[in-house]
Amino acid sequence: MKLLQHLLVAPAALTFLIAPLSAQAADLNIDSVADYSATLDLEQAKQLLQQVTSVNQFNDVYPTDWAYQALVRLVKTYGCVAGYPNGSFRGYIPITRYEAAALLASCLDRVTEMTEEVEQLLKEFESELNFVAGSIMLLEDRVGSLEASQFSTTTKLKGKTTFTMGSTKAYGTNDGSKYYWNYDRKHQIVEIDGRESPLGSTQNSRSWQRTREAWRAVHNRDGSLKEKDGKRGTEIIKGTKLEKHYKDIRSRKFRDHKSWKKDATGGGTRAYNSQYGAFTFNYEQKLNLKTSFTGKDLLYASFTAGNFCDNAFAGDGVSLTKLSTAPCTEDILGLGRLYYRFPLKNDELIDHSLIFIVGPMARNTESLGMWPSAYNRGGARILDWTGLAGVPNVYNKATGAMFGVIYKEKTENKGDPAFSVSMNYLAEDGGDGDPVLGGMFTNNSRGNFLVQAGWGGEEYGVAFAYRYGQCGTGQRRGTNFMMDDSFNNECWRDVWNWTEEDLYQGDYIAERSERNSHNFALNGYWVPQETGWIPSVSVGYARSAITGSGFFKYSPVASQSWFVGVKWDDVFDVGNDLGVGFGMPNFATELAGGYSPNDANYLVELYASFQVTDNIQITPSVFWMSRPLGHYTANLSGDQDQNGASTFGIFGGLIQSVFRF
């Protein structure tokens, strides 16, 4: 209770209980007043407060009064100036009797000799000192009752409830063609008796491209046989290099128009809307426990529940429709975060802070020196991609066992720009005891090493970040083509192994691919000093490269993304924000084998958040995506022609309501 007395009781007693008496109520030294309150009980304290009825006790003390001059001499002698915001007693303007009593109390613990003048001051302000003592006792009693009703004096429980209602609708190619080419990317072509032949479980007679070419030479788009130069069907390719590729046509599959598949080999927009186009009403519930043992450290535990299962807003149909707040826990409250954060001891003696973060279930984006975007600051987070500053390949929200450190310069005023550097290592499978499956610092940890260097504050900032991703880690968001096979960063690859080479027999076996990803991001933001017609601006650009071995032909090995977000603060009223974000989410820029992809896509998001009360925020939002399937969009056309007419886009709309308690 002693620490709480020093922090709360003295200023609260003067400002809360005595504020009507003085516009500049003074802080009080508890140790000095203790002599007056030691013999009081609660009932006596109440009686003391009731006795303060004399009008004289509310009068000011003027510089010409003997008591004022005695206090000035006391301050000069012992240097006691507690009670004033700037730490100085001005000594030439009137003060209230309670300010005088507070000043006297602050000097008592420094007085070395009880002079006649000090005795006169004690007698003069006896009522005021007793009044303050009684006020403190009452406040102590109230604080004690509050502490007794708490489940913990060191832990705070905070909650956040999010309601989301809305839907998505796809537009473009309704059903796709009647067929699609089911090529096997694992196929290996070798020379056998002078002819190219496939090995393994491939569904193609030769390379799928040649099989497709042969089929198109024989058939019209509707499947009927072509006629050319008096020849019909297979007669057209007889004796040409395409003849041998037409003999096994099993790679031509008829499309199930009712089934939606992420690689667009199922139905088109009709199938997507049938499976993911319903209007839904979902929730997320978070309960956060924050415990501090020293006042500077933090033990953080977060529990989450949500029902975004088999839902467009969970990114189940199209990756980019995933919302920032859309967990699927099947209505079960589970632990989502657990870590401990603490500063270097005695960091108040140096011009910088050094903070350490360690935990078995931490997140790399929560261990940064700064967040490099102002787009969602104070506003809502709608789409996952925009909520991660448009660079989720670096800030990928990896969660697992983590060690991190943050270095940051100290500033005179909160919000001033400062330099910071942060580093963290996180193993997504760090809790697994089998080194073949996981563990810390193993080849199978699914490890992420994230480092950020930034300089910024409230008004502007810039940050550069790099993330090394071990095999098995992802870039979080991108086109469906980029998302396939864990962003092409899997730990194992299929390699052809001969069993009977003379008979050309064999099979695929698994082999370590030694793949990893290198991800870079550059972000910056600027916020106007005053709210108005000029919005804040946030930008981001990122590049990624995947290295290793065993890449299948036409699989992505490099990607990039860019983002621009503008936000108007305090629109029409304080706390209301309007934001517009747009850019090109993570898309492939290079394919294995030196081929060029057609993975470009665009995204636009608009939201308007309304601060209904201090604890309730309601945000309507709409978004549009041009080609969220990316390179896979061509699969909706029968010949998988990247220059074909197949299209696929998505419109989405929702209302998000957030309740904080």
C-beta of residue 319 within 8 angstroms of C-beta of residue 479? yes
Q: How confident is the model at residue 290 (pLDDT cuts 50, 70, 90)?
A: very high
User: What is the average per-residue pLDDT within 311-338?
Assistant: 96
pLDDT of residue 7: 29
- Residue 564: name the closest of 535, 593, 533, 600 by CA: 535
Q: Is the pLDDT of residue 190 over 60?
A: no
Answer with the residue of higher pLDDT: 204 or 473. Answer: 473
Question: Which CATH entry fits the domain spanning 154-175+258-660: 2.40.160.10, 3.40.50.150, 2.30.130.10, 2.40.70.10?
Answer: 2.40.160.10
- At residue 260, φ and ψ (nearest 5 deg) are -95, 130
In the block, residue with structure tokens 């003849």: 243
pLDDT tens string 429-457: 999 999 988 999 999 999 999 999 999 99
Which has more confidence, 637 or 661? 661
Closest CA to 610 of 576, 580, 579: 576
CB atoms within 10 A of CB 331: 11
Within 8 A by CB and 6+ apart from 193, the residues are none
Distance CA 634, CA 617 (A): 41
User: In sequence order, which residues have a C-beta less than 8 Å from that of residue 660 and are 6 or more positions away?
Assistant: 158, 159, 160, 615, 616, 617
Token code pair at residue 354: 């050094």
Report residue 170 CA to chain centroid gap.
Answer: 27
CA atoms within a 13 Å half-sphere pointing along the CA-CB vector of 496: 18
- Residue pLDDT, tens place only, 527-543: 999 888 899 999 999 99
Phi and psi, residue 424, nearest 5°? -150, 145
Predicted pLDDT of residue 185: 57
Give the pLDDT score at 501.
62
173 token code pair: 């190619």
Mean pLDDT throughout 166-191? 76
Lowest mean pLDDT among 167-171, 329-333, 384-388, 488-492: 488-492
Cα separations (Å) of 158 from 400, 618, 660? 23, 19, 8
From the number of C-beta atoms within 10 Å of its C-beta (0-12, 13-18, 19+), residue 409 rates as middle
Q: For position 251, what pLDDT does the model report?
A: 66
Which carries the bigger pLDDT value, residue 647 or residue 509?
Answer: 647
- Whole-angstrom Cα distance, residue 398 to residue 444? 15
Confidence of residue 130 (pLDDT cuts 50, 70, 90): confident
Confidence (pLDDT) at 254: 77
- Residue 139, pLDDT above cutoff 80: no
518 or 214, which is more confident:
518
Higher pLDDT pick, 345 / 544 = 544
Average pLDDT over the chain reads: 82
Helix, coil or strand: residue 337: strand
Q: Give, in order, the Cα–Cα distances in Å from 609 to each of 313, 321, 575.
A: 19, 19, 8
Q: Report the amino acid identity of residue 286.
A: K
Is 2 exposed, middle or buried (CB count within 10 Å of its CB: 0-12, 13-18, 19+)? exposed
Tell me, what's the pLDDT at 60? 76
The residue to which tokens 């209302």 are assigned: 655
Residue 423 pLDDT more than 90? yes
The C-alpha atoms of residue 356 and residue 296 are separated, in whole angstroms, by 12
d(C-alpha 36, C-alpha 116), whole Å:
19
Residue with tokens 């519930």: 285
Dist. CA 78–CA 89, nearest whole Å: 12
Give the model confidence (pLDDT) of 581-616 as tens digits.
999 999 999 998 888 899 999 999 999 999 999 999
Cβ(46)–Cβ(145) under 8 Å?
Answer: no
pTM equals 0.74
Which residues are registered as beta bridge partners of 305?
285
CA distance 646 to 212: 18
Higher pLDDT, 353 or 6: 353
Distance from C-alpha of 318 to C-alpha of 83, rounded to nearest angstrom = 62
Looking at residues 131-154, what average pLDDT do you find?
69
Which tens digits make up the pLDDT trace of 229-274?
Answer: 899 988 999 888 888 777 666 667 778 888 999 999 899 999 999 9
pLDDT tens by residue, 565-574: 999 999 988 8
Of 30 and 229, the structure prediction assigns the larger pLDDT to 229
Q: Mean pLDDT over residues 342-347, rounded?
A: 78
Q: Are strands 95-96 and 155-172 parallel, antiparallel or unpaired?
A: unpaired
Q: pLDDT band at 349, cuts 50/70/90?
A: low
Assess contact for 393 and 561: CB atoms under 8 A: yes
Q: With contact defined as beta carbons under 8 Å apart, do 393 and 521 qualify?
A: yes
Residue scoring higher pLDDT (224 or 89): 224
pLDDT at 76: 77
- Residue 645's contacts (CB-CB under 8 Å, 6 or more residues apart) are 173, 637
572 CA to centre of own chain: 28
Instruction: Please state the domain extents for the chain.
Output: 51-109, 154-175+258-660, 187-250
Residues with Cβ < 8 Å from 123, sequence gap 6 or more? Answer: none
Q: How confident is the model at residue 146 (pLDDT cuts 50, 70, 90)?
A: low
Count of residues in the chain: 661
Please give, one letter per residue, the 3-state secondary structure of 371-417.
CCCCCCCCCCCCEHHHHCCCCCCCCCCCEEEEEEEEEEECCCCCCCC
Nearest CA to 22 among 139, 100, 75, 91? 100
Q: What does the alpha-carbon distance between residue 116 and residue 102 come to, in Å, rounded to a whole number?
A: 20
Residue 405 has, within 13 A of its CA and on its CB side, a CA count of 4
Give me the pLDDT at residue 192, please: 52
| pLDDT band of 15, cuts 50, 70, 90 | very low
Euclidean distance between CA atoms 642 and 636, whole angstroms: 10
E-strand stretches of 51-154:
60-61, 95-96
DSSP class of 308: -
Q: pLDDT digit string (tens) for 51-105?
A: 443 334 445 788 888 888 888 888 777 777 544 444 445 556 788 887 788 778 7
> Which percentage of the chain shows pLDDT scores above 90?
50
Counting residues of the chain whose pLDDT is more than 70, the rounded percentage is 78
